[in-house]
Amino acid sequence: MPIEDLRVLLVDVSDRGGIARYTDCLSGALRAEGVAVSLAAPKPRADHGLALAHRRWGADVSGMARQRLRLRRLAEIGPSALLLGRAVMRARSDVVHLQTEVVPPFDHVAVRAISRRVPVVITAHDPEPLEGGERSLERQARRWRAADAVIIHGEGPRDLVERRAPGVPVHVVPVDLPLGGPAVSRDHARRSLGLDGAPTALLLGLLRPYKGIDLLADAWPSVAARVPGARLLLVGEPYACAELDRLVRSPGVALRPGFLAEDDFNLWAAAPDVLVLPYHRGSHSGVLHRAVATGTPVLASPSLADEVARTGAGRIVPMDGAAWADALVAALTGAPPPPPPVPTGHATAIGTMAVYRDVLNRRAHGAGNRRHAPHRRPRRGRAHVRPSPRAEVAS
């Protein structure tokens, strides 16, 4: 099938946030390469007739009582499954590409049902669940095992995904999308946000415990004592937790709660001297790519080492309070990491199209549907480095 005839349905239940931004950028990049893309998402992001059920998430439910949240999730299952099925039927695509769960905890059932009609690709943005726990990991793994292929963003999680979903092709497609807006200078960003020239570190986006809030609470008092006027800004949607309460009580820390509009997100990403990513879990960060787009250097934890090395985003700091205090002091007193290079743009689209071509070729030769194929471990490959000849996307 010539690439100009390829029809893809992107499925993303998020109405905002990093994955929504990724999906929108991926959609634009694929269209620029000649792929016919449809988007199934909540209104108003969805293409006409492809709206999915809105699902409350993040800070909207973080303070909700467990029983109330469980009842809400149960009530969402029917509409979510119905609207997903309708979108797949209406789109009449050659490939369905899921960016998020749509019908938890029964996503694997939905994926298996769709895969009987059309190949399904899943992007596992965070293969190790950010909430942690074996139960969450197994729920993700059931989805992977039902799919025709899984995309991950770095080599680090490959063994985890292959071990949990044997026989499913796993493709590494690094992020090279312009996730940020037009770059602005730090001075312009600070003026627009009403910030002065004080030494500034920033934690941006969803403010969740896995992002190392406890480690910042350990490190920041020493930074404040050693760098006069230093401030740590916490900007985004907060999750109620004891670690955040402790950090906010530290000197020089200011919380700016609330969801950020796209233009404001770009300004905040450009404003600090350094952006901090002390994540306990996660091999990929959309916020890191926002920093890359705006030229803001980052300090990041070892879990993000591969992505930092590939993008040149900044420095890796061990998960130790004293080490983070020293790194922050250096970054705020004239020795920040070098600014990252600007992303080139098209590699993610090319790598993703190689995955589409591979699953379609496997289906055509009877190997894509594992219910009718011998069980075997896939050949390890790098879709982003050198796709196999049958995965080439050029017509």
Q: What is the pLDDT of residues 28-76, one digit of tens each?
A: 999 999 999 999 999 999 999 999 998 766 556 556 677 776 777 788 8
Q: Provide the residue count of the chain.
A: 395
For residue 322, CA distances in Å to 66, 197, 220, 223, 327 come to 36, 26, 9, 10, 9
CA–chain centroid gap for 83, Å, is 24
Distance separating alpha carbons of residues 19 and 30, to the nearest angstrom: 16
CB 112 within 8 A of CB 120: no
Distances from the Cα of 126 to the Cα of 99, 151, 282, 394, angstroms: 11, 11, 6, 30
pLDDT band at 2 (very low <50, low <70, confident <90, very high): low
Over the stretch 263-279, which tens digit does the pLDDT of each residue have? 888 899 999 999 999 99
Q: What is the pTM of this model?
A: 0.72
pLDDT digits (tens, 9 = 90+) for 187-224: 999 999 999 999 999 999 889 899 999 999 999 999 99
For each of the domains in the chain, give its residue range(s) and CATH number, in order of start: 3-177+346-391 (3.40.50.2000), 186-332 (3.40.50.2000)
Check whether the bond before 44 is cis (ω within 30° of 0).
yes
Cα–Cα distance for residue pair 274/270, rounded to 1 Å: 9
Mean pLDDT (the chain) is 86
Q: Are 3 and 353 in contact (CB under 8 A)?
A: yes
- Report the C-alpha gap between 365 and 359 in whole angstroms: 10
The pLDDT tens digits of the residues spanning 294-305 come to 889 999 999 999
Reported as a single tens digit per residue, the pLDDT across 350-370 is: 999 999 999 999 999 886 555
Residue 89 has pLDDT above 60, yes or no: yes
| H or E, element range at 11 | strand 7-11
With b for 16 or more beta-carbon neighbours within 10 A and e for fewer, the 144-157 pattern comes to bbbbbbbbbbbebb
Residue 71's CB is within 10 A of a number of other CB atoms, namely: 11
